[in-house]
């Protein structure tokens, strides 16, 4: 069955730097083309953790040298949307052309409304940019910066990550989808903005792309939300001898595993919660968590971890 699918690309679909990204998006584009060739209507979203950190650091460094002013984080997210969107749009165009598929592709600069009273503004948790050694991190923390240890891989800067409340460009996304176009949107979770009287103002934050993708999937009435990550399936008792890889889950089962603290905070837990929110928003909606390489089999119900009511 042909489906309207919101597909959230993780870091492994993009790479961690400019060179890796160029190579990774070609591979990603061929897999997206497989889905498009099957007749699925694909809306692509993506993360930006490494990229937005790199952009922010570049402007901060240039600012310290008096070359230009430091760039506000909301503008750094906008730059990451356009730069990643360009690479994806270019690679997808080439992959589609190679198979003789003529389909318009549009990358949409997307603003996402957040609540200025969101407690996340008081507790930065979203890792961005490159990794630091403990020694380097301690110096930056002493200088007033926010860094945390990220999943045993080193220290990274962290910024606030409020919940997405609304997507300003949702009607444009719907119109492009309805016209049969491939849309790349809510890149990096969307540009975080707050509503002040009748105006929108960018704020210093990076929204979680899985949560923004879940909200988007609801708003455009998608059939499926696919969150791509580094593992083919979600597991409970992960890293233990009795590890169990999960196939098809109900909302109730997921809630039970969350209560048992089966999923790592800042890693699998936000993916599960975002997937759960979409799956329980309406009967018939399905969320799937899997790897980029197994997305096609996942849609066919052959692998991945799916969640439905």
Ligand X SMILES: NC(=O)OP(=O)(O)O
Residues near ligand X, by CB under 6 A = 11, 47-49, 188-189, 206, 208-209
Q: How far is the CB of 190 from ligand X (least distance, A)?
A: 9
Q: How far is the CB of 113 from ligand X (least distance, A)?
A: 16
Q: Is 103 a catalytic residue?
A: no
Residue pair 249/255 in contact (Cβ under 8 Å)? The answer is no
Instruction: Determine which one of 49, 233, 271, 298 is catalytic.
Output: 271
Q: Is 126 a catalytic residue?
A: yes
Q: How far is the CB of 67 from ligand X (least distance, A)?
A: 27
What is the number of the residue whose Cβ is closest to ligand X?
Answer: 47
Instruction: Determine which one of 56, 188, 209, 298 is catalytic.
Output: 209
Distance of CA 46 to the CA centre of its chain: 4
Please enumerate in sequence order all residues whose Cβ is within 8 A of that of 39, keeping only pairs 6 or more positions apart, or say none: 2
Q: How far is the CB of 208 from ligand X (least distance, A)?
A: 5
Residue pair 76/126 in contact (Cβ under 8 Å)? The answer is no
In the DSSP assignment, the letter for residue 80 is: H
Give the residue with the Cβ less far from ligand X, 11 or 124.
11
Q: Is 12 a catalytic residue?
A: yes
The strand order across the sheet containing 166-167 reads 166-167, 111-113, 191-196, 199-202
Question: What are the tokens at 282?
Answer: 């309406």
Instruction: Determine which one of 16, 53, 126, 296 is catalytic.
Output: 126
Q: Is 17 a catalytic residue?
A: no
Going 209 to 298 to 104 to 29, the CA torsion angle's sign is: positive
Give the residue with the Cβ less far from ligand X, 206 or 288.
206
Give the residue with the Cβ less far from ligand X, 189 or 304.
189
- Nearest CA to 226 out of 242, 212, 214 is that of 214
Could you give the residue numbers annotated as active site? 11-12, 126, 209, 271
């Amino acid at each position: 069955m042909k489906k309207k699918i919101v597909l959230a690309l993780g870091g492994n679909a993009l790479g961690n730097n400019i060179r890796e990204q160029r190579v990774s998006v070609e591979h990603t584009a061929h897999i997206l083309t497989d889905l498009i060739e099957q007749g699925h209507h694909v809306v692509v979203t993506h993360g930006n953790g490494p990229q937005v950190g790199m952009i922010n650091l570049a402007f901060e460094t240039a600012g310290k040298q008096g070359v230009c002013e430091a760039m506000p984080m909301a503008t750094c997210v906008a730059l990451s949307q356009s730069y990643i969107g360009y690479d994806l749009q270019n690679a997808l165009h080439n992959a589609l052309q190679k198979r003789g598929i003529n389909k318009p592709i549009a990358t949409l600069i997307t603003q996402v409304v957040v609540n200025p009273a969101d407690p996340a503004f008081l507790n930065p948790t979203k890792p961005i940019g490159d990794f630091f050694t403990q020694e380097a991190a301690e110096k930056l923390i002493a200088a007033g910066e926010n860094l945390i240890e990220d999943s045993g891989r080193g220290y990274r800067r962290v910024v606030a990550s409020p919940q997405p409340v609304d997507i300003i460009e949702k009607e444009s996304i719907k119109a492009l989808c309805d016209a049969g176009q491939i849309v790349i949107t809510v890149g990096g979770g969307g540009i975080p903005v707050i509503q002040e009287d009748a105006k929108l103002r960018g704020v210093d934050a990076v929204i979680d792309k899985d949560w923004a993708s879940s909200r988007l999937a609801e708003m455009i009435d998608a059939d499926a939300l696919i969150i791509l990550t580094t593992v083919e399936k979600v597991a409970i008792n992960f890293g233990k001898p009795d590890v169990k890889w999960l196939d098809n889950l109900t909302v109730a089962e997921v809630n039970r595993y969350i209560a048992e603290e089966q999923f790592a905070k800042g890693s699998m837990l936000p993916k599960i919660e975002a997937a759960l929110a979409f799956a329980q928003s309406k009967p018939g909606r399905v969320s799937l968590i899997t790897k980029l390489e197994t997305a096609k089999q996942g849609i066919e119900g052959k692998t991945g971890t799916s969640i439905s009511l």
